[in-house]
Every structure is written in C-alpha cells, then in structure tokens.
Structure 1
Amino acid sequence: MYFKRIADLRIDNDMTQQQIADILGCNRQVYARYERGLREIPISMLIKLAKHYNVSIDYILGITDIKEPRIKK
C-alpha cells in the first residue's frame, strides 16, 4: 500500500525523511520505504505519526479525508 499522505504531511510540515525517522525511532531508509509503500507501517508507527501530525489514522490510511482525530468524551 502506497502511503502518499505521510509524504504529503511531511512535506506540508517542512520536514525531512530523516527528521520523521528520528521521531519514529527508525532509520531514514525504513521510513522512505513506508512512504513508497515498499514496507507496511506498524500500528505503533501509525499512532506516532497521527499524534505528531494531529490527524487520524484513518486519514493517514486514506479511509477518510477528514484530518482531525475524533475524540470520544
């Protein structure tokens, strides 16, 4: 699965692949493979990305076009 949205979010936030890889605790090559869809993104990484960008995991996965995470009260 190609995760164009994580590349778009990274670029929109003026960040490099290395900076995001550092946040995720992986190396840049692994993160680059996530962006290109050559490697599945573990749930733990999806959670970190969603929290970092303040978007929902559904948005990252392309399930919805609504960026904001839904918070249950």
Structure 2
Amino acid sequence: MFQERLKSMRLEAKLTQKELAEKLKIGQNTYSYWEKGIRKPVGENLNKLANFFNVSTDYLLGNSNIKDQKQFDEDLEKSLDTFKSFDGKPMYDEDREKIREFLRKRMEDRLKDN
C-alpha cells in the first residue's frame, strides 16, 4: 500500500522520481526503492515525505486512510459542537466522547471502502 500511495501522490504533484528526490534531498535510487517497495523510509525521511505531501506518516504507511489527521479532528469537533444538547438536555462529555469515537470509526471504515 505504501508504494502505491507514494507513487500516486508523486504523480498527482506532477513530479518525476528524480524531481521529488531532489526536493527531498535524497538520492534518486533511494526514492526509487521506496516506490518499488524494496525499502521503506524511516525516521527523518518518512517525516520529509509526510511534510512534503501534507499527509500523516500513518497515512503514508497505510495505517490510516485519513490523509490529514489534524483537519479530520477539527472537522469532527465542529460536527460535535452541534450536539451540545439532546432533547433540550445538556450532553455529557462521556456521551460526546462515545459519539466522537463512533464517528471516527465510521469515517475510517468509509474511507477504507473507497
């Protein structure tokens, strides 16, 4: 999954492997190995890729289908703000947390299906 995402994002950015390697200040062979699935970046190089493409390292590695976790969390909180009360009664923090976890799981599942 990692190599497919990496290649897809590179092509979406309209960059060659060489151009992207230069922007990341790594060797073209190193980048090519990543895209072929021969190796995976770790540490600083993984962070360079995530920062360049503005995605999370979890998304890059295939551990999450949410590209921008921070934006996802902000959107989720905005949605939850509409649930300050239910049937005229204030909603407890525990209830909000249950709704938050349900929505997070549901969105993850929907993103997996796409």
Fold match by TM threshold 0.5: yes
Greater relative contact order, per chain length (Cα 8 Å cut-off, separation 6+)? 1
The 2-side partners of 1:51 and 1:70 are apart by: 13
Runs of 5+ in structure 1 lacking a partner?
Answer: none
For 1:35, the equivalent position in structure 2 comes to 35
Distance 1:20 1:38 in 2: 18
Give the corresponding residue for 2:15: 15
What code does the residue aligned with 1:23 have?
K
Q: Which has the higher helix share?
A: 2
RMSD: 2.0
What is the deviation of 1:35?
Answer: 0.8
Q: Larger radius of gyration, structure 1 or 2?
A: 2
How many residue pairs were aligned? 72
Aligned partners of 1:69, 1:18: CA distance in 2, in Å? 29
Query: Deviation at 1:2?
Result: 5.0
Moved more, 62-71 or 45-54: 62-71
Runs of 4+ in structure 1 deviating by more than 6 angstroms, as ranges, are: none
Alignment of 1:1-73 (within 5 A): 3-70=3-70
Distance in 2 separating the partners of 1:55 and 1:69:
8
The one-letter code of the counterpart of 2:5 is R
Q: Percent identity?
A: 33
Deviations 1:16-62, CA, capped at 9 Å, x for gaps: 10111112212211100011111231221110111111111111001
